[in-house]
Chains A and B, each alone.
Chain A
Amino acid sequence: MPTGGVAHSGLMTETQPTPQPAAPARRSLSPRARWAVPAVAAVAVGAAVMGPPLFASAGDDGLPPVTPEELVAKVVEKDAPALSGTVVYTARLGLPSIPFGPGGASADPVNLMSGSSTLRLWSDGEQRSRVALLGAASEYSVVHDGDEAWTYSSDDDEVVHYTVDPADAATLEKLATEGPAVKGDLPTPQDAAEQALAHAQELSTVSVDGQTTVAGRDAYQLVVTPKSTTTLVGRVVVAVDATEWTPLRVQVWSASDDTEPALEVGFTDVSFATPSDSVLTFSPPAGAQVREVVVPLPTEAEIAAAEQEHTDGALPQGVTVHGEGWDTVVELSGVDVTGALAGDPKALAELEEHEPTIGSDSAQALLEDFGGDPSDKADMGEIDPSALLDSIAKPVPGGRVVTSDLFSVLLTDDGRVLVGAVSPETLQGLA
């Protein structure tokens, strides 16, 4: 630094050292204020996301009290209403993850085994309905239209047309069911509730829990608790719409896990209006393969016999039923275990769907499924059946067992299959 020479009189002595920083003339937020804008945006977004559920869960005590008996009666008596809506089906069965290969996000009923699935439901409350399982870019639809039914899978562009033999049309009329039974049918809250409440009074304790909101609608909660202590099912909670008296949500809780329902099927969005005709009818697209299936209907005599069966316990050959109600165990004999698994994993989906009231009807369906339909083998892709078996069934003395939070399956080495909502040990005991 040179010294001297240049005048020393500093600037600071003559000019005020700190002029006002120029005040914001018009607009201009300070830098800090500017960074507050994204913060506010983030908070607003967060509020928009978190807000509605917070509000929805508040203040749901406005419904008049109802007794469990009244509620069950209302639900059972109430005719199915016309409605349309979106249903989310979630299974947390605690099954080992099943390597079904690619297409995890595609619309295949197999995917109902685990995780979450979205279905869309339209019904006129009578004999016409459509249920569609939605994949990311695919769809599996089941359309019931009077005495015929269709399934359509967008993945393989395959149509299956179920019809009733014309001779049986009169019987169908009399049965007044939803028409022909469809393989690979999809779960709805109504079906699940129907099954849960079927024998509710005899085998379970029924109570009314607090009120709740499902799909933005007020609902009562009906809790069905098995009287049995050996079943894996802890309780079934049915949320019933407070004005339409139709089930909006069914949760099946495992006895072993009280944090989340093991199985849940419920509306996320529902509207009680008759859907348009276009969704309740189906005509196969040009160029699609249509597989015709004629569903034989039982004659009146057979129906009578079937009703008799219910009480007598007479079953098709090879099927034995142990226990009753929640503890029912179905035993199938003479099954090629590996082949069955390879043949149709949908069988397990069926199982789970009918699980709470597994009975002779379910057993029949199960038998058909385990019998296997050769065409379904394509669904398995390149998966080695024995590897699959290894991955989900762990060996026990005398066979292999599949365990989940809600049901167990025992595959014995001598070719029997035992299925029930009980512990694997119970199954082993029965075997």
Chain B
Amino acid sequence: MAKKRERLDVIKDILRVTRDNRQIKPTRLLYASNLSPQMFKEYVDELLKKEFIILLEDKKGKKTFSIAKKGNDFLEQYKIIENFIENFGL
């Protein structure tokens, strides 16, 4: 059985897809994240609140997500953070 993704891995996956797509629609990000809609909403709300991603809305009301500076910083440091957390059992 595949190991359940850790919270930090899910965040990394969402951020990576958002960064690679520059701007991504919520539905596409939901499919790419491989989460249930409810879990997806929780993660996205958290990422928006922590300013890792931003929600853009054009004149027609079409919504897209884009990565913010904090999100980019997180991805750059992800390996170091993951290593630290796992080596200290945090």
A pairs with B = no
Residues of B bordering A, CB below 8 Å: none
